[in-house]
Structure 1
């Protein structure tokens, strides 16, 4: 939970450093730019999610060689994809701004932020892979150390670039990119120590045939393809949400971005239990242990529900003070305070969807994740369009309902998974190389 709670602090720091300058256009620009970066970078979030489930299953099956080979495969894939993003940044940036609304001043600030963030793309995607591998092994303290280091560097760099050099949104982007490269260097050291002997020793003792094993690569891409489609569908929800605020004006866009920090905090904290479920479910299926599977799901769900209630109460009690700390603009503060109750409901509304995500990711049921996310996104878009006449109220009703739509759509696949666990076919699915994930 501590490691997960520290992840959204990157976004909170970015918003606060620029928000306390009183520059509404700058804050709105960071909001729009962050949405674009999230859409592009997290399109490859399978590097975290897919690697977690596969690593946990390999560990549960006692296959140490595959555990280490997974790390190296994921690192090569993450760094290569990050380089591709860096090279293709101009068309990606232009396409994103063609899709997302924003005034001239907001778009200028957002463009400066996005350009700076692209510099960290290879590091950011590689860190996704390292985090996924560490979480798959249950090395949560190591993941926490990595995230804390990244946050410390990000805070210091943001303050220096924005408050000392007056670089605005561009400085926020540069600070975060620098933090991502620092996290990659530290992550390689941490992963090497967890594997034993350091990262270079891990590379040396892992046969090239294991890294390039065709069956393992096919399985990695089969699972990752479906998770990528699932991630793109869910990113469409939050991109649409940000664009809905941008259509209403800089005040609404900035206020919604401030409230999104509450939602990100809730999502990452409660995802700690989902990640625990991923690791435990993957271990249970790899070891063919039905009792461990059921106990893991029950305990993770109970703790997640209790934490969701606590977070909702904290948001209601302290949210006003946090809003005032992040932004100094009176209009942004008032708009954010108006819709704070919606943000406070998200820990309760989102908990079932995040927990189900963890269960299905750990079981590497990519087709269920893919289909449920596409269905939920389609229903959300229809609801948002129907409520467009309600202004920002309609925007918040739709995004709140999206969590229930996600949980309901994924819940349709839960009985089948439980039957597979009961019969033992979930383990046979692993033996067959994840063919089901490619359906």
Structure 2
């Protein structure tokens, strides 16, 4: 308890946590806002299939880009550790590797995108008008794919250098420009669905260009020279690729859980799957807020590990953990006592409202269980220990699936109990990995401490 109080009273750590967390929370919350504006703008077009085309085409594009989210997380840990060591050369290498990997993946995905979209649309069996417009929207959005993936790497790298205002500027610029161009192209110039797609492409490239420009300031703070020969050696790429691979597997396992919830909810009836989807929006809102603190943990813990500063690592974890717990308690109380307002805001269908309110207590418990997995994910990302994140996710999934099968007789209550167990197991297993690494002194393995690390530690 004394360690927690000492860390809580440490004003520099409090300032560092919120200097990173507050901009990232605002950045995160700007993302769903754009989706709402897109829907509202296209929703004013005269035909229903136009709105459906943006929804379908956008979902296909989001699936491609979301699967590459490891570019952001992988860059953060390596950049934070390089910054902690004061190693400007390594920072430049991480930046170029992230950008290069993003562009290569964009080219690969572009080759797979057309057959992928054709297969997906054939499974959906849309009308001829919807099929044509959805393909048009999706194919236009592909022009922004390199910029979108490069932005992932840029945001992760900037966050690793503890420049949270950079990601905020990128996302706000891109999202606000997207909104403005939507209004101009769709309603002003009457370009319809194609206008909405081109608005997103221009916004994505604008965000990427701004991100490249913002790297100048971070690089100026960490002078050094890029070793161009290192980029030609496989050994220089292996750590980054291994981390990205493990994060990718971990993310696929997490999305499998949400997919199975949707599948099982569908078997329980249309009203049940709608109510579950509505309540999971509450989890998404919670995750956007708590992820801001997790992002702060990524940057601060990665920096402390690079500087080999045990005290800074402990303080960052304790302060961010305390704020995360307080925030999760706040969300739990809101969903428990004010959840009916949240449900009423999202739907006016009486049957779905009534059903969602029955399961609100599960949503209230969820932040208290999930918060620790968010926080520990931040620690492991900062430490570039993605293998433990991957294994914890797979273990939690393997233990939860039999439980979900056993609880089927309880209907939707059983489904929510299994989901709560999954989130709790995920936190417990991650906590077990963290405790074991601390016991075996694996956070700071023996090694020579450079002058730059000593200087960084003293600061």
TM-score w.r.t. the length of structure 1 is 0.79
Partner of 1:72: 96
Partner of 1:219: 239
8 Å Cα contact 2:30-2:171 kept in structure 1: no
Partner of 1:418: 438
Deviation at 1:171, TM superposition (A): 7.5
8 Å Cα contact 1:35-1:242 kept in structure 2: no
8 Å Cα contact 1:18-1:162 kept in structure 2: no
Aligned positions of 1:106-125 closer than 5 A: 118-125=142-149
Size of the alignment, in residue pairs?
421
- Shifted more, 339-348 versus 276-285: the winner is 339-348
8 Å Cα contact 1:46-1:228 kept in structure 2: yes
Aligned positions of 1:337-376 closer than 5 A: 339-376=359-396
Q: Are 1:14 and 2:38 an aligned pair?
A: no
Deviation at 1:302, TM superposition (A): 0.9
Can you give the 5+ residue segments of structure 2 that lack an aligned partner in the other structure? 1-21, 451-459
Partners of 1:290 and 1:384 in 2: CA distance: 40
Partners of 1:428 and 1:311 in 2: CA distance: 45
Aligned positions of 1:281-430 closer than 5 A: 281-316=301-336, 319-326=339-346, 336=356, 339-388=359-408, 392-421=412-441, 424-425=444-445
Structure 1's 422 and 71: CA in aligned 2 closer, same or farther, altered over 3 A? closer
- For residue 421 of structure 1, give the secondary structure of its aligned residue in structure 2: coil
Structure 1's 273 and 92: CA in aligned 2 closer, same or farther, altered over 3 A? same
Can you give the 5+ residue segments of structure 1 that lack an aligned partner in the other structure? 431-439
Partner of 1:87: 111
Partner of 1:4: 25
Structure 1's 308 and 258: CA in aligned 2 closer, same or farther, altered over 3 A? same
Partners of 2:260 and 2:55 in 1: CA distance: 13
Q: Are 1:267 and 2:290 an aligned pair?
A: no
Partners of 2:412 and 2:388 in 1: CA distance: 32
Partner of 1:433: none
Which structure has the bigger radius of gyration? 2
Deviation at 1:143, TM superposition (A): 1.6
8 Å Cα contact 2:366-2:420 kept in structure 1: yes
- Shifted more, 359-368 versus 112-121: the winner is 112-121
- For residue 413 of structure 1, give the secondary structure of its aligned residue in structure 2: helix
CA distances 1:12-71 after superposition (whole Å, capped 9, x unpaired): 542575389599999999888776555532332221111111111111112101102211
8 Å Cα contact 2:28-2:292 kept in structure 1: no
CA distances 1:353-373 after superposition (whole Å, capped 9, x unpaired): 111111111112222112111
RMSD of aligned residue pairs (Cα, Å): 4.1
Partners of 1:383 and 1:37 in 2: CA distance: 34
- For residue 229 of structure 2, give the secondary structure of its aligned residue in structure 1: helix
Partners of 1:276 and 1:360 in 2: CA distance: 12
